[in-house]
Amino acid sequence: MADNSIRTDLFSPIKLGEIELANRIVMAPLTRGRTNEEGVPNDLNVTYYVQRTSAGLIISEATNISAQGRGYAMTPGIWTEDQVAGWKKITDAIHAVGGKIVMQLWHVGRCSHVDLQPNRDAPVAPSAIKADGNVYTNNGIAEASMPRALRTEEIPDIIEQYRHAAECAKRAGFDGVEIHSANNYLLEQFLRDSTNHRTDQYGGSIENRARLILEVVEAVTGVWGGGRVGIRLSPVTTEVGNTPLDSDVMATYGYLIQQLNKFKLAYLHFVEGTTQKNRDVPKNVDLEALRSLFDGAYIGNNNYDLELAISRRAEGKIDAVAFGRPFIANPDLVERLRYGLELAEATYDTHYGNGAKGYTDWPKANS
């Protein structure tokens, strides 16, 4: 069998901040819709994650930091004791076989529906601007509801939700956390001037629009230390909700990345292009220039195959690479990539729900 490790160090150990990995292949966060209505992980979730521990690092599926942060049915949470206990079973099982996992902390902001919110309240957002897209409720697909703008005095509670979730993730046995500041969920909604029309200290200037992200990072690193905290950014994606880009991507994200350096984070996880669609970038945006502003490790993400990962690693453009959808049908993805084995492909109807079918029933190549 061909052994690609001869010509690449993707299968060699790396340290991201304080997190030591067996290889540079990362499992990207994948929403699969397989928890119960209370967001408590179950034994099926344990099996799913353990099957994929050949990844140097698993980034958990996006995990709601609060009942308010929820935007999709059957997604996990990390704010109750039952949720902590459910996740602890997963982290214990992963560590028992030598794997590493960080939790992705998630607040969807405006990308929600009243049926998913406590007391059927309106979703919250920086500004009362409706998301152009659908969400998954217990009653099926529905248009995102009209959000309400957060009041200035409510912002500290948002930060506290992140801090509390970070503490819960620590008690649940994770190796670290990733702050989801991408894909046009709450934190990126604050960052972009297309979704943030505020006039208080969280709106207007780039410094003001980046304020909430930096305050959240400060709160989360206060729990974990910078070396076990990563952050995910997506400067040019329009997903979710067909969201317009910021009017000055380079200035806005450049400022944010430079400010993030003071926290000495474990890594920057970057969506290169439009999430799940393509790697196209507007002519006035230079993602390599933005990447170069970050002092720490860099994880490249979005439509990578092995050839692209090898070439970008050889050029020093990535420190690690995140694969998402290939991990769905290939629990042994690292071995398949390393030895040039054929990859299985999952159809879209297996992505969400359906219990074990299309979730834990994918065979390994050698089985």
Q: Domain segments of the chain: what residues?
A: 4-350
Q: DSSP states of 2-50 as a string?
A: --GGGS-STTS-EEETTEEESSSEEE-------S-TT----HHHHHHHH
Tokens representing residue 278 in the block: 């393509």
The per-residue pLDDT for range 140-166, each reduced to its tens digit, is: 899 999 999 999 999 999 999 999 999
pLDDT at 1: 44
Low-confidence ranges of the chain (pLDDT < 50): 1-6
CA 6 vs CA 20, 66, 175, 179, 218: distances in Å = 22, 45, 29, 34, 41
Active-site positions?
185
Indicate the residue type of 187: L
DSSP 60: P
pLDDT at 97: 98
Where does residue 173 fall: left (phi above 0), alpha (psi -120 to 50 degrees), or beta otherwise?
left
Indicate the residue type of 241: G
pLDDT at 4: 42
pLDDT at 7: 77
pLDDT at 367: 53
DSSP 15: E
Look at residues 110, 74, 148, 104 and name the one whose alpha carbon lies nearest to residue 241.
Answer: 110
The number of CA neighbours under 13 Å toward the Cβ of 226 is 13
CA 183 – CA 74 distance, rounded (Å): 19
CA 6 – CA 154 distance, rounded (Å): 54
CA 69 – CA 63 distance, rounded (Å): 9
Q: Are 325 and 30 in contact (CB under 8 A)?
A: yes
> Is the torsion defined by CA of 320, 321, 324, 326 positive or negative?
negative
Q: How, if at all, do strands 177-180 and 14-16 pair?
A: unpaired
The per-residue pLDDT for range 70-100, each reduced to its tens digit, is: 999 999 999 999 999 999 999 999 999 999 9
CA 137 – CA 338 distance, rounded (Å): 39
Q: Are 231 and 178 in contact (CB under 8 A)?
A: yes
Q: Are 181 and 158 in contact (CB under 8 A)?
A: no
DSSP 9: S
CA 70 vs CA 34, 137, 319, 347: distances in Å = 15, 10, 32, 26
CA 168 – CA 175 distance, rounded (Å): 12
Question: Which CATH number does the domain 4-350 belong to among 1.10.40.30, 3.20.20.70, 3.30.420.130, 3.20.20.220?
Answer: 3.20.20.70
